[in-house]
């Protein structure tokens, strides 16, 4: 199986999304299996509540180790929270499984922003 690395910024440009990028987060490039490169990747923006710097460090470490071709991109970051975009091949189950492996889940209940919220399972 051949694999091709595609940085999230290039992937999002390829899908026509224009997003604000914060530099210095050093999240890894996304790698999709060759079989998944023909279909358009799924994308989802989520809210990430943060109580402080330690919360951000934990979230950032989890995002860096997602695997399964799931990429994460920080769209906004403040002392109260972050907005993160996920890009992945396949259905929502792929994202849910990758998040579960690193101790997180998506709360898809209605929120004021309309975006799901990233919550810890620990």
Residue at 45 is within a domain: yes
Distance CA 43, CA 37 (A): 14
Residue at 89 is within a domain: yes
Distance CA 28, CA 26 (A): 6
Cα–Cα separations (whole angstroms), residue 18 to 9, 12, 62: 9, 7, 25
β-strand pairing of 71-77 with 3-6: unpaired
pLDDT at 6 over 50: no
Q: Smallest Cα–Cα separation from 89: which of 70, 74, 75?
A: 70
Residue at 19 is within a domain: yes
State the pTM of this model: 0.67
The per-residue pLDDT for range 19-69, each reduced to its tens digit, is 333 444 555 555 545 554 556 789 999 999 999 999 999 999 999 999 878
Q: What's the domain range around 60?
A: 3-29+39-120
The count of structural domains within the chain is 1
Tokens, residue 41: 């990747």
Residue at 34 is within a domain: no
């Amino acid at each position: 199986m051949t694999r091709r690395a595609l940085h999230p910024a290039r992937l999002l440009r390829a899908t026509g999304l224009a997003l604000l990028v914060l530099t210095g987060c050093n999240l890894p490039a996304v790698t999709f299996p060759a079989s998944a490169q023909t279909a358009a990747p799924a994308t989802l923006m989520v809210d990430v509540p943060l109580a402080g710097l330690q919360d951000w460090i934990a979230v950032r470490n989890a995002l860096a180790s997602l695997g399964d071709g799931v990429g994460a991109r920080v769209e906004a970051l403040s002392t109260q929270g972050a907005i993160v975009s996920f890009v992945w091949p396949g259905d929502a189950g792929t994202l849910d499984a990758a998040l579960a492996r690193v101790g997180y889940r998506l709360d898809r209940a209605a929120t004021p922003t309309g975006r799901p919220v990233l919550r810890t399972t620990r």
